[in-house]
Structure formats: C-alpha cells, structure tokens
Structure 1
C-alpha cells in the first residue's frame, strides 16, 4: 500500500485535524449519541498511539499543512488521561527533535462531558499544556434539558437493559459544578448544545441559562439523523423566534453569540463560486484503538448503524489513496439532490458525511441525507426575523455602525 504523494488543492488547508479515538467507554449514555457502540470498553494502547504519531510526523510531504490540531475523543477521552498525557508529551518531544514545522503551530483539543474535569490528574495536565490547549465541556442548557438526554450509564444499560425514565439519573449537577473552574481557565470557551426532537421546547430557556452561567458562545447542533417528527419545524421556528426576542430585548447580542443566528445563510446554492464540501471528512484523519485510519470518526464501525466501516489505512501500511480519493472529489453540488440545488434558501444547510453514508440506500458518500430539510428552512425564517428586528432596533438607536464594528463572532452554523 503506497503512501499518498499527490494531493489535490482541495485537500490542502491551513491546519490538519488528527483525531485519536482513545476509548469507546463513557460514564454517560446520552440518548442522542451517534456512537452505536458507545458501551464498549475498548481503549487505545500506547503502541498504537506511538505508531500513529511516528507515521504522521515522519510523512511531512503528505501531512504538509501549516498547523495541526491533535484531537482526543471517546467515549469520554479523559477516562484515559494517563495515556493522553503520555501521547501529548511524546508529540511535543518528537516535534522538537525533528525540528518539525508544527512545533510552534499545534493545539491539543478535547470535547468532554466535564464530569472528571476537576480531578487532580486532569488539572495537572491542563496546567502543563495550557498554552496549547482547547477544552469544550458539553452542557445542554437547563437542568431539565440537560438531564433529558445526558444520563448516567448503569450496569443494566451495559447489559442492554433499557431503564424506565423514572430510573434515569441525569448528569447536570455533576457537570455544572465544574463550569466556573473551566471558564476561569478558558475564559473564551464556548459550549456545544445538541438538539433532537424532544429538546425543541427547551431551546430558548437553555441558551439563556448557558449565558447566565457565563458562557458567551453557544454552538447549537441539530442531529443529522432522521429523528424529526411532523410539526417539529413549526415548534423549532417558534422557539428560535422567542429566543431572538429575548436576545435582542435583553441586549445579549452585544456580548454573546448563538450559532443559530448568522447573517450569511439562507441564500440559493452557488455551484460555481461556493461549491466546497460542507463537511471536512477526508481532510481530517482519525485513528481507533486497533490502529485503523478513517476519513472522520463518523466512519468508524462504532459510529455506524447500517454500513460497514470506511477504513482508509492503518498504522502499519499507511493511507490507501484509492480509499481516500472519493473524499477529495466531494463538493456541495455533486452530492446534493436537485431539490437541494434548486432550493432558494440552501446556503447554511449542513450535513454530516458519515450520516450521508450511513443513511444512503447504497454504500456511497455521494448521496446527501435531507433529514434536516424542514428544520433548516424553519431556522432560515427565524434567522431572518432575528436580523430584521435587530437592525431595525440598531438603526432606530443609531448604533448599527458600532455594532458592525464590534459584533461577536460565532462558529459556522450546524443546522
């Protein structure tokens, strides 16, 4: 299996994202989690981690981005803090030894449930790596909203027994106690909120609650799976309009951001000038406990419901360019339906390449899932309401120019 020598310009980006799936285990059993095998106890060995690092750092002709993000996920990655600490120390040592261009251009990134955040080992790791570290704690909003989905895993669950709702134990109290320490260490940190059908009634109160905790950036992600019910789009739109009123009337727009509201969305699709793939699958690299490489973690077997894992190589043989090539040719229009291409509000409508693959009626990545179509259109209507109301207010008060010069930034919209 040959290493990749030729890389298309679409592959090259300012930084490379490399993801270690260090464990499939987690203390929680979140109901919306796309990890089908999330109860597994499989963990990455030091041997696999070291071989992965060696392969990447010794193939700079292929991994030639200017910077790198070393991402650690699970399961819950901090369950493997000893391994992670060893991995990060080795990465830093090897980049220095090799005089690697990434030595001054790297970041360690974590998405955690926050339960063990204040533990001695994790705090020691944070202090050692704070200048090159990003950590996001997932908290879904109010206690009622958070505990609806993010529940503790029990031994019965590991045996496949589904508990009654009255037996479920939420994790909000175990997470929220660590938020002040997290924000003290990472003042600009944002959180990610995941929305599925059952969560819609709690959107407004949850975002405002997160603001009250001191979190200034809330990135909200609608699940891409086909979970949406009849009428969800109307409820969604109403919740977003209520949230828009609260943000504008209370002045939150001056210092807080919510990714549901962004100016540059809801326009027709442009297959000439704006045809890049929404998803980064194929431009990133993920490695699992067995040393298999994937174009994204969503293509690992434990993330798929009905399809086989899409493995593009391994730590022994490197990356197989024939298995990677389809991802390098992906763009917005070739995988979209004609309805999507003709849609008047197509821009900003997101997708997950792994979900496209999993939901397709054949093993292809060129068939875009449209499960969130109605939800996107509802969001566009609410988004238009938000910006029309905000700009009318600012113009009336003579503050539009000042706002334009100082508006808070938000990550790209997810739904």
Structure 2
C-alpha cells in the first residue's frame, strides 16, 4: 500500500531526513583492503526497502522537507539491481497530500554496468559515486573476490556510467600506500568527464608519511593552479568546496558547528531495517536508533543528548579551524576515541588539505578564472552531500 497522509492528521514532529543511506546489501564482489564494511551475504528484503521509504515520508511530513536523497549503498548495491529498480519505481509514485520528491544516487565500485544497471540509472536519474581508486597499481588494494584485478573493468565501465547518470563523481580513495593517486588524479579525467572527490582513509596508519602527503598535495596544487590559469576548471569538487568555505569564513569568521548532518538530516538503514545515525555506524549495534518498523525511534534521544561539537585544545590554533567541524564521529569511535573527540589522523589530513587550499586561494584570488570556477560549486545541498557520501 502506498503511504499517504490524511489531510486532517496532525503529524508528530521529528528532525526530517534529507539524505538516507540505504544498505541494499552488505555483500560485495570486491575485497578492498581499506573498506569498513565486513562483506556479509545480507540483502535487504523488498518489504523492508519499501517500508523504509514510507518511514522517511512519515517522519518528514512535519519537517518542511520537499526533497529526500536516497543513496543506495553497500557492499555493492548493483548486486541488488532488481530491488533497486523496485525502490526507484516506488519512490516515483504520486502520493496524495504529500509533496515530497525522492532523488536517487548510488555509491558503486564500478564493476557492474549491464543493461539492468543502465535501466535503473537512466529511469531513476541516479547520480553515481564511482570508486576509481587509481591505476593498475591499485589492484593490490581492491582485488575481485576471485583475486583477479579490477581496475581494467572499472576503467572500461566509467564512461558508460557517466553517460547514463545525471551526475557522476569518481571517488578516489587514498592511503599511505597509494599517495601517487593525488599526483596522478588527471589520469582519472582522461577516462571520462567526471567530477573527482579525493577521500583519505583516516583509519590508515599515517605516521611517518607526513612529508609524502605534503609533497603529493603540493604537486596536486601545481596542476590545479595551472589548469585554472589556462581557463579550465579542475573538477576536484571537495577542494572547490573547501575553497568556497575558506573564502566565506574569511568574511564571516564563523566556525562550523559540526562535520556532517549526522542524526539530523542524514540517517542510514541497514539491510535488516535497523536505523543508524549514519552509514559508518553499520557495525556498531550499540548506537542503533531503532527500526523502520517502529513509528518512533526510542533511542534517538541518545544521539541528541550526547552529540556535541567535536574538538580538542589544538583546534583554536589549527589552520583548518574555519572549515572543520571535527571529523567523522564513527571513525573516532572505531579508533578508540569518544563520540565528541577527534581522530588525530583526521587533523593531520585536514590540515594538509587546508594548507593546499590556503596556498591556492592566495595564489589565484586575483584570477577571474578562479572566481568563475568557484561560482560553479553546487548550491544544491543534495549534490554537495553526494560528494561527501561513502567516506
């Protein structure tokens, strides 16, 4: 039955969900060494998937939100492509008295690009975040289940996925073992015309790699500046967003109060229908908020009671203080830190990126091409959040 709200009903007020991470499956056809998902053969049922959309609508009725981004996640979500198609079809149905619009996206490893994938991406107008973690050297970090290499398959599929999607971003995940990705990011752009999101693995052991990180960012910055001066816009969307935030904070001097919309406009639902503060809490049952079968989330009060701005004393003098909200809470917990503490490697990585941003701003702020590129940073929050998903 399609969820609809009687006109006379007075809905209870909840914090509306603007971005929902939906674990269609926790299974995957890759075995990436840096992935936080345990790769269990768990698939979401059709009933749970459709009930989740109803749950979001019911929750959002009083929240004034008119768009909800559903991000299909995993595992590899296209392993459940038939279920994905059903969710998209259900989300596009008209609902009496509900003026909500679902948008859909998927975070994928890029290995699956068949006719069924094309259909759901085109019909659902999906935005795609495709893991494109470097060249052939990355095969040691993301092999297929069989042990075979995966890069050639992803490279072949990326142009097609980019053609089918309404928006396509290549997610370049880097660790101390593949820092060459920062220097060779233009290789991704030679494969397909996509945006690029550079995403470090905070949990990796970065000790002793500080100078290599700085050198890689410096070389990346030289290429970025040269592209801007030549009248081209390098599609490093996270860097552009940091440049925009840096410029705005120079004017308003206001610090962000959080790193992400955890537990407010962002939530996740796992393959069994459990509601999580975000997708990174998948294997933390003690932080589950409830289930989509319940009309209320009994443990939601836990989140609001304990969530504060994450910071440490060094935040006051940090180069990233004007744009950093404290880093990922789940990563901090997984590293043995508190919910409102900061993982030290987050600081290391954020500071390195911000030193690059500050140099680029000082170097390019008198260039009209720079301001033209800055004006193209997405103002649609759904698109902004997409660049940050899947971390």
Contact kept, 8 Å, 2:31 with 2:144, in 1: the verdict is yes
User: Who is 1:27 aligned against?
Assistant: 29
Residues of 1 paired with 2:181 and 2:220: CA distance?
Answer: 10
Single out whichever of 15-24 and 317-326 deviates more from structure 2. 317-326
Partner residue of 1:137 out of 106, 130, 136? 130
Residues of 1 paired with 2:82 and 2:335: CA distance?
Answer: 37
How many angstroms does 1:184 deviate by? 2.3
User: Who is 2:6 aligned against?
Assistant: none
User: Who is 1:157 aligned against?
Assistant: none
Pairwise CA RMSD: 3.2
Q: Which has the higher contact order (CA 8 A, sep 6+)?
A: 1
SS in 2 for 1:110: strand
Structure 1 residue runs of 5 or longer lacking an equivalent are 155-167
Partner residue of 1:351 out of 303, 306, 327? 327
Residues of 2 paired with 1:388 and 1:18: CA distance?
Answer: 37
User: Who is 1:203 aligned against?
Assistant: 182
Structure 1 residues 274 and 330, CA gap change in structure 2 (3 angstroms): farther
User: Who is 1:158 aligned against?
Assistant: none
Structure 1 residues 390 and 208, CA gap change in structure 2 (3 angstroms): same
Residues of 1 paired with 2:301 and 2:250: CA distance?
Answer: 26
User: Who is 1:113 aligned against?
Assistant: 109
Contact kept, 8 Å, 1:22 with 1:289, in 2: the verdict is yes
How many angstroms does 1:315 deviate by? 2.2
Structure 1 residues 240 and 273, CA gap change in structure 2 (3 angstroms): closer
Are 2:352 and 1:378 aligned? Answer: yes
Structure 1 residues 101 and 328, CA gap change in structure 2 (3 angstroms): farther
Residues of 2 paired with 1:201 and 1:402: CA distance?
Answer: 27
Residues of 2 paired with 1:17 and 1:128: CA distance?
Answer: 20
Contact kept, 8 Å, 1:286 with 1:294, in 2: the verdict is yes
Residues of 1 paired with 2:254 and 2:112: CA distance?
Answer: 46
Structure 1 residues 208 and 313, CA gap change in structure 2 (3 angstroms): same
How many angstroms does 1:173 deviate by? 0.6
How many angstroms does 1:275 deviate by? 3.7
User: Who is 2:257 aligned against?
Assistant: 276
SS in 2 for 1:189: strand
SS in 1 for 2:287: coil
Count of matched residue positions in the alignment of Structure 1 and Structure 2 = 367
SS in 2 for 1:346: coil
How many angstroms does 1:269 deviate by? 11
How many angstroms does 1:185 deviate by? 2.7
Single out whichever of 182-191 and 135-144 deviates more from structure 2. 182-191
How many angstroms does 1:270 deviate by? 12
Residues of 2 paired with 1:20 and 1:243: CA distance?
Answer: 34
User: Who is 1:170 aligned against?
Assistant: 149
How many angstroms does 1:357 deviate by? 2.5
SS in 1 for 2:70: strand
Residues of 1 paired with 2:145 and 2:127: CA distance?
Answer: 26
How many angstroms does 1:108 deviate by? 0.8
Contact kept, 8 Å, 1:30 with 1:149, in 2: the verdict is yes
Structure 1 residues 149 and 352, CA gap change in structure 2 (3 angstroms): same
SS in 1 for 2:361: helix
Are 2:61 and 1:51 aligned? Answer: no
Residues of 1 paired with 2:216 and 2:302: CA distance?
Answer: 42
Contact kept, 8 Å, 1:282 with 1:324, in 2: the verdict is no
How many angstroms does 1:78 deviate by? 0.5
Contact kept, 8 Å, 2:171 with 2:198, in 1: the verdict is yes
Residues of 1 paired with 2:166 and 2:274: CA distance?
Answer: 36
How many angstroms does 1:218 deviate by? 1.2
Residues of 2 paired with 1:406 and 1:47: CA distance?
Answer: 44
Contact kept, 8 Å, 1:359 with 1:369, in 2: the verdict is yes
SS in 2 for 1:228: coil
Structure 1 residues 150 and 260, CA gap change in structure 2 (3 angstroms): farther
Residues of 1 paired with 2:191 and 2:179: CA distance?
Answer: 21
Contact kept, 8 Å, 1:110 with 1:136, in 2: the verdict is yes
Contact kept, 8 Å, 1:257 with 1:409, in 2: the verdict is no
Residues of 1 paired with 2:260 and 2:288: CA distance?
Answer: 18
Structure 1 residues 85 and 266, CA gap change in structure 2 (3 angstroms): same
Are 2:19 and 1:42 aligned? Answer: no
How many angstroms does 1:209 deviate by? 0.3
Contact kept, 8 Å, 2:143 with 2:149, in 1: the verdict is yes
Residues of 2 paired with 1:269 and 1:300: CA distance?
Answer: 37
How many angstroms does 1:322 deviate by? 4.3
User: TM-score by structure 1 length?
Assistant: 0.78
